[in-house]
Structure 1
């Protein structure tokens, strides 16, 4: 007599796709990434609120909301302090830092080297040089500064690509050499400008959000936020490209087109952020490795959150926590924090090459 084996309909009807999704949903690595991403969101929001509400002039959340909605409160000068100083600085640091972080992580993933960030390669400095020249010597302002910053970033990028010839190590060396040359050009520009222009330019070149205006923030957000969305959408392709060109092509990712599109987006994002916030040092370099350590893989969204948190926190530290009452631009604080990390990355990359040759 033949025995029939009863099977559960749910088991027989479960497709491979459903099984794969079920395994992914219980993947501890995915849970860890979701937890890390949630923690980064909470941390960024907390740091943003601290920057807006605390300091030499404190606000309650209720009063801040009332002022943002247009209501005048009784405390003298409170509306001006929040809407013209604290809030614009925090928003500029949030969006600009997110752009620096996302662009840096995308460039590092594209080149597959943690040192290949836009600030180390000199792309940020190319945008800065063009902007400083037009502001101090030509007297330009507004949208033209954004355009020349973009042109400066693309000009430096073109020289780097032409001289590097696709070699990562050579690209970094060429970028460092370009940055050194551009520093000399900036010094020449400052010598040609008057004392007041030179002082303002030096503060901006250090990386500063102290004098940002709402029109500048609108320009930063209007162009920068779409760049963030594009890079976040392309994050999966970037992770595939990290596996190498043959495997990426085999998985259906167009290598050349993707690299070109990401590179253009990175340069645009860096130029927009630099034109408003100045070349905030090391944020693009730090955000990617920190996000990768937290997420276990390349994550543009996480890098953007890390970059925003670093920039906002650096601005708060520079404004309120320096002994002696001095106020430092955010770029000085991030530079002090980033210098040892850069040294660590150099040592780590050297150790990696040494192990690979054994």
Structure 2
């Protein structure tokens, strides 16, 4: 039914390229993910738990509550609850390898699990390695902003390379094949603005390497008294080439390459893409998750029991964004009267 429909997706604030369930389409921050009934640290800014930190062979079953459970768990369970139960009474060794290939794309994973039982206790450990190559939008013809061949609009960006000058409500295309030195206003083109494919050189899927582990050990210390420890640990390194940086540059007349159809204008607005200067942006970093949980259970008379739990969970992300301009230095270069130091946005990329 529509009410139980869901998905697994990323978040807009997903710096670490994490994955989370989305029950009933209410958003990843409205679905609560638990492991053995307890919470984990949220992933980066997103307000959700990264479920990809759990090795597949560590999961015994998944319990799903598709009705809103905010009365019990809080506002992060409005969409429902997903509870991952780790394997416990497992004996032996298990391994699983997967490989997937596509045009311009490949993915590998190797999972292992080992478990044992003994008098009064049991233990389990699972380790998983995952590697995914980047998938470039250039490898998929349908990843384009120009949708006219599919019956849609052309959404290519007028912040282009070379760019466009916006003056008096009119867009003037900067001609290609010149370096912007001595460009006369009469060479500007009206009615055919330059455009840039926003997906040029960008990635649909990031390059990712991930190592994760999950373990559990339980021991009956005395009759009726059991100690259980379980934990998760994950380290993921990801990088993705994002859309190139764009900006509407305000170029003052003092710039030695200044061009404007209005001879009295003191500034020129240039719709510009840095695709040719820096290429696509490179975004990525390292995400680490560590969770340790301990519980002591005491059996009481009349089928009652008492349990004392303690939990430590931590997520850390180091993130960087490369290949985009420094705004302060760019504005300084736009206002520099020295031709050897000024930024020139009036020619083909690479003129600077």
Identify the TM-score tier after normalising by the shorter chain.
under 0.3
Task: Give the TM-score, by structure 1 length.
Answer: 0.20
More helix by share: 1
In our comparison, the structure showing a higher alpha carbon Rg is 2
More strand by share: 2
